[in-house]
Amino acid sequence: MTDCIFCKIIDREVPSYTVYEDDAVYAFLDITQTTKGHTLVIPKKHIADIFEYDEDLAQIVFSRIPKIARALEKNFPDMEGLNIVNNNKEIAYQTVFHSHIHLIPRYGADDDFSMTFKNNGELYSADDMAAIAESIRKNVSN
């Protein structure tokens, strides 16, 4: 894809700070550095989001996450945890439409990163939850 910034990074048309690379995966520092070491992991093959992965590519890309996460943990002894974030489509805050996984090291409650989830559990009865689970289960393909 000619106008994709991540494809340009992979092709070395745009500079980046490489963290990891193999034949299928490229990982580099996010220029925003939400926290120190904030890394993006991307497939070298251009795909827009999680909905375009096939099982083989998903296995390849997602199997690299623990290796890179352990490298972050080893490199930053003051790291207390790690958020793994993957936004898909604009409504879910995806801004670059080349699939990417954020690895965001956490250094404490005051490290300037937060994620909050509203608890809407009271809106759904046990029957509602069972019906939702069943409808999703029917659409999971093997």
Query: 17 to each of 9, 30, 103, 122, how far by Cα in Å?
Result: 10, 8, 14, 45
Any catalytic annotation for residue 46? no
Count of alpha carbons within 13 angstroms of residue 1, beta-carbon side: 15
Torsion sign (Cα): 61, 65, 71, 76: positive
d(CA 142, CA 139): 10
Angle, vertex CA 79, rays to CA 77 and CA 80, nearest 5: 120
| Choice among 38, 46, 100, 102 that is catalytic | 100
Q: 50 CB contacts (<8 Å, ≥6 apart)?
A: 86, 88, 99
Active-site positions read 100
